[in-house]
Amino acid sequence: MSLEALLAISGFLLMLCVFTNKITDNFGIPSLLLFLGLGMLAGSDGPGGIEFNNSRLTNYIGTVALAFILFSGGLGTRWQQVRPILARGSLLSTLGVLLTAIFMYFFSYYILRQSFEISLLLSVIISSTDAPAVFSILRSHNLSVPGRLKAILEFESGSNDPMAVFLSMGAMAVISSGEWNLIGLTGDFLLQMFLGTALGMLSGYLASKTLRRWMFSYQGLYPVFGVALVLLTYSLTQMLGGNGFLAVYLCGIIMGNTGYMYRRHFIRFQESLVWIMQISMFLILGLLVFPHELSSVMPVSLACTLFLIIIARPLAVFICLYRSGFSLPEQIFISWAGFKGAVPIILATYPLIYGFQNSQFLFNIIFFLVIISVLLQAQSLSFLARRLQLHADENTPTPNQLNTTSPETAPAEEQSALPTSETSI
């Protein structure tokens, strides 16, 4: 296929995603489902007829897109809302993910009678909540729920991907070698978390300090600085043995809670870039799926989804939030808002890359599970909030309101808005 044809197809699909996104506003259909659907229609099983089966390229694109999505999610996270729920949110993003994986493994292996390899990989890959899905659905639906509910959900989804990645890599290592090394895996996890946290905070601090002290000649260079920051923070953290996803998320939190020149322009560019990343990621994930194969995994995938939503996720949440101050309705809401999305599908490409047995079957199960999860949970989230009578305090600003009134430095009249300290964290 010629370069011109590739560019034309890419431009047409992007334009189609822009206009079909209007459907999400009118009918409340999550954007990720539309983008995945368009990718499937453009694929070899759809009218588009595009032959695509490159799991490695899909993994690379998804990884880069996720890094930018997490960074943007951090930019939109208000530290004053995260601080009160930091301990419980961290517990959810670590112990909660592990418990969810354990519950899912026993269900898949002992109840559904799946093989050890499928049960282990399935349980760890779908154990975390998905940051792109949570950020998109919570912020686009503009739910009128207490700020701490949004804060803990966004913080958990933004910080629990490292745990899911670690568990997935550990599971593949166990399957490949046939040996369990819990001490080695635990040490590796602690090292990844420590380096990810330290390097992410250091990167955010140095970047904020740089933007506060230096002024670039052109306003357009600030977004370029942001792109370079994400790429460097993720890659250097990974090369040093840390978790790059955690690093870029924490870097984004610090950057989003610090005042500097053209801050609003910087954040808006990142929001636009995230749309490109999300669309590209979901389109290529849709291209990788062969819809005619999904019918064979429907019973298993549906059973896993229902168990995950009704039993595994709620049990993990109730254990992690025991005596936390969150009421029972709030814990039920947190349990139901544990969306699955792009992250499990991206992680499911690793078994494809390494050629594990039945990896395509596993990929199809996870893909169908994500679709069911988003349809069931995202569509009913507003209804559940009303039924549980969860309403935000009128005197408590929402995250969007906080974002519009956050301290920022602009070229002229906004100079006085600079915070007195270099960062409010």
Q: What is the pLDDT of residues 203-237, one digit of tens each?
A: 999 999 999 988 888 888 999 999 999 999 999 99
Does 240 fall in a domain? yes
What is the pLDDT, as a whole number, of residue 402?
40
User: pTM score, two decimals?
Assistant: 0.84
pLDDT at 200 over 50: yes
Does 92 fall in a domain? yes
Does 62 fall in a domain? yes
Place 142 in a pLDDT band, splitting at 50, 70 and 90. Answer: low
Query: Average pLDDT in the 331-347 region?
Result: 90
What is the pLDDT, as a whole number, of residue 140?
61
What is the pLDDT, as a whole number, of residue 406?
41
CATH number at residue 153: 1.20.1530.20
Tens of pLDDT, residues 385-424: 888 888 765 444 444 444 433 444 444 333 333 443 333 3
Domain membership of residue 333 as a residue range: 31-393
Tens of pLDDT, residues 240-276: 999 999 999 999 999 999 888 888 889 899 988 988 9
Does 24 fall in a domain? no
Task: Please count the structural domains in the chain.
Answer: 1
Does 417 fall in a domain? no
pLDDT at 191 over 60: yes
What is the pLDDT, as a whole number, of residue 105?
96
What is the pLDDT, as a whole number, of residue 143?
65
Does 17 fall in a domain? no
What is the pLDDT, as a whole number, of residue 257?
92
Does 25 fall in a domain? no
Give the best-scoring range by mean pLDDT among 30-39, 93-102, 409-418.
93-102
Does 8 fall in a domain? no
What is the pLDDT, as a whole number, of residue 363?
94
Dihedral sign for Cα atoms in the order 317, 318, 319, 324: positive
